[in-house]
Amino acid sequence: MFPKCLKCSNQLSLSWFLGSFTWTKNRCINCGALHEFTNWHKLSGVLAVLVIVWAMPALESSIPWSFGRLLIICVVVSSIISIIPGQHRLDSKDKLGGR
């Protein structure tokens, strides 16, 4: 369930979805539709940070290398975040309105 365009079903940029600010918008390269984040994305971002903060010390005894712990936790959290539906919608204030 990676993010897809709501108009043409083209896959959206995963780097926009996982790494950008909540106010950043993304335009589909296929149809030109403008996408924005919903409150679900903001909530999932907060939950991801809480999981990272909780899991880093909790996994310290089993994984002593801190970078390895962070890498494993981030891979798991980003995989879970990318499958939660309803995190983006079409922007209602789009001046171009798609092609």
Question: What is the predicted pLDDT for the residue at 32?
Answer: 86
The residue whose two tokens read 């089993």 is: 62
Bridge-based pairing of strands 34-37 and 26-27 is antiparallel
What is the structure's pLDDT at 74?
85
Looking at residue 14, its pLDDT comes to 82
Per-residue pLDDT of the chain (99 residues; tens, 9 = 90+): 578 888 898 888 888 888 888 888 999 898 888 999 988 888 888 888 888 888 888 888 888 888 888 888 888 888 888 778 888 888 877 776 545
Nearest Cα residue to 34 out of 24, 43, 20: 24
| Residue position matching structure tokens 């979805």 | 17
Question: Residue 69 and residue 31: Cα distance in Å, rounded?
Answer: 40
Sheet of strand 88-90, all strands in order from the earlier edge strand to the far edge: 26-27, 34-37, 88-90
According to the model, what pLDDT value does residue 97 have? Answer: 57
